[in-house]
Amino acid sequence: MGESYREDFCAMIEQLLEITGTVTALADEKITRINGITRRSRMLALNATIEANRFGAAGRGFAVVADEVKAISQEIAQLTGSLQTELRGRLSHLSEFGRGMAAQLQQVRGERLADLAHNTVEIADRNLYERSCDVRWWATDPAVVECAGAPASATLADHAAARLAVILGSYTVYLDLWIADAGGRVIANGRRDRFPRAIGTDVSGESWFREAMATPDGGAFAVTDIARAPHLGGAMVATYATAIRADGDARGEAIGALGIFFDWEAQAQAIVEQVRLAPDEKARSRCLLLDSRHRIIAASDRAGVLERRFPLHTERAERGFYREPDGRLVAYALTPGYETYRGLGWYGVIVQEE
């Protein structure tokens, strides 16, 4: 069912419920008026009977008319009662049917948005899975290994920097690539022209460096939460790192670390802005990516990124939807991970106004 058709169908159901309510109110009003007329007719018949009895034989003919009016009033009352009971039953059934259809459509709508939320975070995970692969194989590049093995060699550092620059020329999603020696000092980077102050930076206290140096082998990697990098102009980055090992051997000694800085803001913004919503939906929807702490790390409206946490309720399931008291529909999905990348506990979220 296309989204435009679904919205039209919802509008038709709402119109049906509105018409049903109007007809019910109108029928009640008319039946009440008929009952009022019937009561008046009965009173007239009763008064006529009393007067006919008072006049004796002279009023017998009038008494016959009074009895007939009374009989007709009783018949009308019976028909009105039957009509009211039957009509209310049918209209109530129609209203329940309409509400049931509306509830089913809301269920379909919520499940569809949850699917889109799942797809959103899955796209992010697929993207980051590639980053985890990149850092592990670039750390085995001979130029990178040689540079980390001889950190005092300016020649090897220049050669490694040139190699990193070539990589960056093909992988434009990165801001920079850094090689740090075993002590945590940056000895080479790929974008010297853009980030000339990277060389000599002490990253020994950075979590990505410490975790990279602690990896057990070349198949492991470190990743940090999305953050702004002061040494990269305050840009939002997803940092992936791993140890550079002696001779490029996966079991070799850690002689340094390679840190790669993914240009998160640009890539993430494209993901949340390209969720496949109908044009009219986009105007009343907000698409988000949240980290494991429910901190906003990407938002289609760019509001609150890295500054606010979204009050997401996930008590029921890892994927689903619910309605807020103000009427907003919130759909969400926990990252499923991708291949060997287990994900970081992120959520895709779509908030849609009525």
pLDDT tens digit sequence for 65-108: 656 666 666 766 676 666 667 666 666 666 665 565 555 667 77
Strands 186-189 and 285-290: unpaired
In the prediction, which pLDDT does 154 show?
Answer: 95
In the prediction, which pLDDT does 123 show?
Answer: 92
State the architecture of 276-352 in CATH terms.
2-Layer Sandwich (3.30)
**Sequence-ordered list of residues with C-beta below 8 angstroms from that of 9, at least 6 positions apart, any chain:** 1, 105
pTM, to two decimals: 0.73
In the prediction, which pLDDT does 70 show?
Answer: 65
User: What number does CATH give the domain 3-110?
Assistant: 1.10.287.950
The domain segmentation of the chain, as residue ranges, is 3-110, 139-267, 276-352
Q: Give the pLDDT band (50/70/90) at residue 336.
A: confident
Do 139-267 and 276-352 agree at the fold level? yes
CATH class of 139-267: alpha beta
**Sequence-ordered list of residues with C-beta below 8 angstroms from that of 114, at least 6 positions apart, any chain:** 319, 320, 321, 331, 332, 333
Return left, alpha or beta for 195; rule: phi > 0 is left, psi -120 to 50 is alpha, else beta: beta
Q: Give CA–CA dist 209/257, Å, rounded.
A: 6
Tens-place pLDDT, residues 126-144:
888 999 999 999 999 999 9
* Listed residue (263, 308, 264) closest to 286, CA to CA: 308
Q: Are the C-beta atoms of residues 13 and 98 closer than 8 Å to each other? A: yes
* Listed residue (328, 234, 344, 235) closest to 289, CA to CA: 344
Q: Give the pLDDT band (50/70/90) at residue 293.
A: very high
Q: Give CA–CA dist 63/115, Å, rounded.
A: 77
In the prediction, which pLDDT does 42 show?
Answer: 64
Structure tokens at 97: 């049917």
* Listed residue (102, 87, 90) closest to 9, CA to CA: 102
Chain-wide mean pLDDT for the chain?
Answer: 85
Q: Are the C-beta atoms of residues 6 and 14 closer than 8 Å to each other? A: no
* Listed residue (274, 232, 235, 234) closest to 124, CA to CA: 274
